Structure 1
Amino acid sequence: MKNLKSIALAFVALVSFASTAQTAKKVDVSKSTINWVGKKVTGAHEGTIALKEGALIFKGKKVVGGNFTVDMTTINTTDLDGKGKANLDGHLKSDDFFGVEKFPTATLVFKSIGEKGNGVYAVTADLTIKGKTESIKFDLTVAGNTATTTLKVDRTKYDIKYGSGSFFSDLGDKTIYDDFDLTVKLAI
């Protein structure tokens, strides 16, 4: 009888532990995409950037965490070609913008998550670009083996002020808006 009670207690403890265990699911970076759009007074440019690594952390079927590293050296303009593309890609990688020689990666680390229902989560995360970390909020939608989000990032919070009307006057039609948009699709 004593052995039966011990076995029953061990089973209950195991089930309790299993229900509270967290699982990290690595993101398939080869099937994941990050698209960006940067706008200026006279139009916009768009492109891609590659995810280096990342994982979503689950407790059961619910997202409870995440961390991601972006390879900033892969900044790629997709709406231009030839010399214009080469010039913009080079400028975005320069110290005027992302300074990828000194800061080859950017990171995003989830800090808190609130469940909104139907696979949608309200996420507060720390975004680090050019060595500066700022809090950012966004919604993350998880459906099957895919997670998607859109983020609006204020580049000036990361000391990227080139062409910003918030910091420089008389830029006229050369003004570049402070926010850029990211559309992210993660394969998990």
Structure 2
Amino acid sequence: MAQFLNSSYVDHEDPRATMRTPDCELSDDGTHYQSLFEEDDSDKASPLKLFAVSTNESTQVSENLQEIPFDRNEWLVVEPFSGRQRPPRQNEFLQRLLNNPRYSSYITWTDQSTGLFTILLPNEVAKLWQRVKHRQTSKEMNYDKFSRGLRSNYHKGLMEKTYKKYTFRFVQPTNQETHM
């Protein structure tokens, strides 16, 4: 059973019980699992750290560290009529994320001509969305909250259901964005 470095409740009698914390956790053999997303107080040019985790019988962690620089200004959307800059809406964020090759490990096109895409690292996409929207809250964005917003796009007619896990479709096929 995993032990956690911060104080969190874990049902130790349930062998399937797992819990993730924003800090660091220990496995039974004492291996440290680092947080996939390290956030700091600075808003610009702070790198996102991505650890590639291989899971096998001995639950080993391979630390292939890849840094993705974060700059909030690259995510701003310019309104066509007023010229004002604003944070992107969720569907605009996803399109920019899909069209940015630096984030190909987070999300990828399955079929760009039909607008079909798959989120590969759902929790990291949700945390990146929190940073892009500049949400200043004590609660961390997770995939459950992020996907609730995605489902609201179904009712708006921007996206349609695919009935596959982490796979979504834009109603209007998207073109490559020219200004990123």
| Bin for the TM-score computed over the shorter chain | under 0.3
| Bigger share in helix | 2
What TM-score does the superposition give when structure 2 sets the normalisation length?
A: 0.25
| Greater strand content | 1
Structure of higher CA gyration radius: 1
TM (normalized to structure 1)? 0.25
